[in-house]
Amino acid sequence: MKVFLTGGSGYIGRATIAELVRQGHAVEALARSEQSAEAVTSAGATAVRGDLRDLDVLNHAAARADAVIHLAQASTEEEDLAASTAMQDGVGAGTYVHTSGSWVYGNTDGVQDETAPWNPPGLVTWRKSVEDAVLARAGAGGRPVILQPGLLYGGDNRLIDVFFIQPGKQRGAIPYLGDGSAHWSLIHIDDLAPLYVAALNAAAGSVYLGVGGVNPTAKEVAEALAHGAGLKTTSITLDQARTEMGPIADAFALDQQLTPAKAQRELGWEPRHTDRLAVFART
């Protein structure tokens, strides 16, 4: 299968390109700079120069493909909607996989699946209108699929590294918010990449959570990270976190317990990395 992918030079993108190539797919990937082009080429893709504002580039690349995976983070709702529309127009009846995130559900009040009501923090409120527009194409001959990854870990740990490990090393203690009882719904990067590939065969209009199925508390994660770094843990208030982290603090404060059962049942996908705390303890 020929697949066009955006966000290929990023943390998720490089892993997804590698998994696509491993499974025998040919990949073209959007690259907005020479550095990005080198990154996607090294991962195994052919670089297509442009960015999310180059709608003709997106449309034509999608038209050459059998499927599209949209990983790049748009800077505005309008940019994301325009880009997704251009790619869906291009790929036609081919699969279009659009990236959202598990934070759109807000606090889950126990274990929930994709039928949970939306209650997003301000940081991701705008995703609703874009996802509705993407999924609407299922009734007009398109084959849209939404993936909602949880909080990523593995590799460089991405957000966890930026907002918890690095500041923790500077202050001498890994922080957690409040009493640390909020659950985090996590997924390892090496499990998420195969899920994106599996989603290429999903039915039109499908929505899947990309989570690993075990939801440790923020304090448990902090304690594991502290063990790996040889540090202590410390509690910070939500106001402190907002000052240090900005709006993303409200997302980290969410208490989320989410299940991957739908993706397991319908796509035959299984997360392999289940001992999250052991991974963090080795960080």
pLDDT tens, position by position, 28-78? 999 999 999 999 999 999 999 999 999 999 999 999 999 999 999 998 999
Q: What are the φ and ψ backbone dihedral angles of 203, each rounded to 5 degrees? A: -75, 150
pLDDT digits (tens, 9 = 90+) for 98-131: 999 999 999 999 999 999 999 999 999 999 999 9
How far is CA 259 from each of CA 74, 108, 120, 218, 268, rounded to the nearest angstrom? 27, 11, 18, 18, 15
In this structure, what CATH number is given to the domain that contains residue 28? 3.40.50.720
Burial of residue 265 (number of CB atoms within 10 Å: 0-12, 13-18, 19+): exposed
Which sign does the torsion angle of CA 85, 151, 257, 104 carry? negative
User: What does DSSP assign to residue 199?
Assistant: G
Map residue 233 onto helix, strand or coil: strand
Asked if residue 53 belongs to a domain, the reply is yes
Let me know if residue 106 belongs to a domain: yes
CATH number, domain of 173, equals: 3.90.25
The model's confidence at residue 277, banded by pLDDT at 50, 70 and 90, is confident
pLDDT reported for residue 157: 66
Q: Mean pLDDT throughout 251-268?
A: 98
**CA–CA distance, 14 with 21 (Å, rounded to integer):** 11
Structure tokens, 51: 């960015």
The answer to whether residue 263 is domain-embedded is no
Q: Residue 158's pLDDT band (boundaries 50, 70, 90)?
A: confident
Residues 15 and 119 in one domain: yes
- Per-residue pLDDT, averaged over 188-192, amounts to 96
pLDDT value, residue 260: 97
Q: Kindly state the average pLDDT of the residues 204-213.
A: 97
| 28 and 41 housed in the same domain | yes
Query: Within a domain: residue 175?
Result: yes
Does one domain contain both 123 and 161?
no
Binning pLDDT at 50, 70 and 90, where does residue 18 land?
A: very high
Q: Nearest Cα to 74, choosing from 24, 124, 26?
A: 124
- One-letter amino acid at 47 equals A
The predicted pLDDT at position 145 comes to: 98
Question: 254 pLDDT exceeds 90?
Answer: yes
